[in-house]
Amino acid sequence: MPQVSRTLRNLCLNCLPPGFRHRVLEKWPNWRKAAPRGMRFVYNEYLGDVRLHIDTRYLVERIAWTGSYEPELQHYIRSNLTPGAVALDIGANVGAVSLGLAKQAGPGGRIHAFEPAPPNRERLEANLALNTGLARSVEVHPFALGDTSGTLYWHEEPGNPGNGWLRHSGDVPVPVRTLDDVVPDLGIDRLDFIKIDVEGMEEPVLRGAARTLRRWKPALYFETLPRFRREGTDHGSILDELRPLGYRFHRLRSDGIPAPLAPGEWGSYTLALI
């Protein structure tokens, strides 16, 4: 239903004269998710005072133009991440979550943003350049994470610029490492929070992070959209990987407060806490 509504709003906005369309988008921020493609500008009020490049070809940026991206997660970050925190944004895209993490963790914190797709990483780095104070806390890594080291190929979803996934053949090769191998190289000695949004590769990422999770037991926030389930399975295998470590599973309410996940219940994202 939200997708249908967005499509209808897009049709409506495309029919409006540019001046009236601008007034509609200013008055009703939620309509910006359906903004026509071709609009490019810098938005100065993301998460209140963060600057962000907006190109309405990119869904993530249209949503961020409303003022927040994944607002439940942003509420959770503000309530639970403390100054000086260390967090990982795995599948950082253009930085909509990385910037929120950096803002909350402050100058004493450290955010490691993993983004292997060249177009997304360029936009992420451009957004960090707009926010030099936050950028000092963010380190961008141009590789993917999985359960083995090697090479995979990034494939952009047709008709959805910036959104893509990794597969075993293609035109855009990207290096893949395991988080367990990466952590010592980065000198990480504390880990508070990990967000994983990698279009179906969440389970390999977590398998490749087994030692890291056992050591620090950070809060985990990972995508569980039904369309990214592996063929013939559900997301229960991820829970089976995490339960022996003591994790319990939640969904985030609209105010960012965790609520227990009922058996068989899946939302777009799942929060795992010790």
The per-residue pLDDT for range 207-218, each reduced to its tens digit, is 999 999 999 999
- Give me the pLDDT at residue 229, please: 63
Pairing status of strand 138-141 against strand 110-114: parallel
- Give me the pLDDT at residue 6, please: 82
Burial 252-273 (b: 16+ CB within 10 A, else e): beeebebeebeeeebeebbbbe
Pairing status of strand 144-145 against strand 173-177: parallel
Architecture label for domain 68-273 = 3-Layer(aba) Sandwich (3.40)
Q: Are 267 and 228 in contact (CB under 8 A)?
A: no
Q: Where are the domains of the chain?
A: 1-36, 68-273
Q: Are 35 and 68 in contact (CB under 8 A)?
A: no
Structure tokens at 125: 């780095």
Q: Are 116 and 143 in contact (CB under 8 A)?
A: yes
What residues in the chain have per-residue pLDDT under 70? 1-4, 228-234
